Copies of this chain bind each other. A is one copy, B any other.
Amino acid sequence: MNSINQLISDIKKLDFSMFQKDFLLTWEKSDQEILATLYMAQLLKELHGKNISCKVFESGLAVSQFRDNSTRTRFSFTSAANLLGLAVQDLDEGKSQIAHGETVRETSNMISFLADVIGIRDDMYLGAGHTYMQEVGRSLDDGFKEGVLNQRPGVVNLQCDIDHPTQSMSDLLHLKNFFGGDLKNLKGKKIAMTWAYSPSYGKPLSVPQGIIGLMTRFGMNVTLAHPEGYSLIPDTLEVAKKNAKASGGNFTVTGSMDEAFKDADIVYPKSWAPYHVMQQRTQLLQKKDNDGLKDLEKQCLANNAKFKNWECTEEKMKLTKGGKALYMHCLPADISGVSCKEGEVAASVFERYRADTYREAGYKPFIIAAMMLSMRFKNSAEVLEKIIKENKKRLS
């Protein structure tokens, strides 16, 4: 139980206050809050591995709202809720009366009378997902103040147009553990967050934005690479610059995948849609202009196709530090010859790091659980100490 005791002790030293606050963007959280979330996630993972029950809710609902398809985030959310003792109720807009002009404020309150957490994935519209989550949060604040709600549920961003905090935090925990278990070891490490070719279009920008926004806080050298026209939301670049400066790290943008890969300790090659395409797409979606959408897709795929050489091949991997950079991906990856003809990554590269990417994904349920815990309990460290002391077995 050494690592467990160490983790609890580390958590208790941190100064954080996430109770009754939403987790929407990592850069809204202090360094101590990021660390607290990270350590609590690690602790919960170890407790689960040691068959110790982490049930801290006797009852309560975790509401999920997915405005886009999802497997791993859905399962991560359910797993996190279940680990802590919450039941999941999905808000399926297709089976609801929401379409009939009901306000966000009303829906937010109606689903929350006995809810502790609301997880939202809304990454389809640029300028919409984050705004929607904020509106839900404000509605819950009002509902709590007006005595409509017995408690203020917390909102977890399961991916919006700006950030994907449950992903980037899982990635960070993976990096921490891969590089010896200490975040200090990340200082000075080079991570290449690069665009990669994919035969699909319209992939959200939230992963690269989340990565450059978070990794720059730990003194890493973060290089963002993409072909011309594939830039990210400008504000997120500013966040990355500011963070890098504060942490003693570095943030650079380049138009060359090779340059990004050169001497990198970590590579994160992943496709995304160009910012201006997502903006056009948002407008077309709002107008329900299906012909326009088809045209845009055609154009965009044709443009993507110019950059088929943006693939994480064995050759490109040789450019990295000692040829041995850690390959990362949020999954599912477009693997050339496996899930598509030509894609983001060569099959042999992916296969070599396959188990690593699975482990990377495996942190997500616990990251989400840590977020849930910290937003619903005033003193999460105490709560965790209590369950360790009780030592109740998950499987009796």
Query: Footprint of B on A, CB under 8 Å?
Result: 45, 48-49, 53-61, 63, 66, 69-72, 74-76, 78-79, 82-85, 87-89, 91, 95-98, 100-103, 106-107, 109-111, 113-116, 143, 146-150, 200, 331-332, 334-335, 338-340, 355, 358-359, 361-362, 364-365, 376-377, 383, 386-387, 392-396
Contact = CB atoms under 8 A, between A and B. Distances in A.
B87 A75 contact: no
A19 to B, nearest CB: 11
Contacts of A109: 358, 361
A334 to B, nearest CB: 8
A335 B100 CA distance: 11
Given A71-B110, A148-B359, A395 B56 contact: yes
Nearest to A110: B72
Contact of A383 (B364, B383, B396): B396
A69 B83 contact: no
Given A102-B332, A339-B101, A66 B95 contact: yes
Given A95-B70, A355-B148, A358-B143, A75 B396 contact: no
Nearest to A339: B101
Give 6 nearest A-B pairs by CB, closest first. A101-B339, A79-B114, A71-B96, A53-B58, A146-B355, A148-B358
Contacts of A331: 106, 110
A111 B73 CA distance: 10
Of listed A98, A106, A113, residue having the most chain B CB within 10 A: A113
Interface majority SS on A: helix, strand, loop or mixed?
mixed
A97 B71 CA distance: 6
Contacts of A115: 79
Given A69-B96, A107-B71, A150-B49, A114 B82 contact: yes
Contacts of A87: 78, 82, 87-88
Q: How many copies does the complex hold?
A: 3
Contacts of A393: 58
Given A48-B114, A110-B75, A338-B101, A59 B70 contact: no
B58 A396 contact: yes
A350 B135 CA distance: 20
A89 B70 contact: no
A245 B193 CA distance: 65
Contacts of A392: 58
Nearest to A355: B146
A88 B90 CA distance: 12
Contacts of A339: 100-103
Given A57-B396, A60-B395, A101-B332, 14 more contacts: A57-B395, A59-B85, A61-B79, A69-B97, A74-B89, A75-B89, A75-B110, A78-B89, A100-B332, A100-B339, A103-B339, A147-B355, A383-B396, A386-B396
A89 B75 CA distance: 8
Nearest to A75: B111
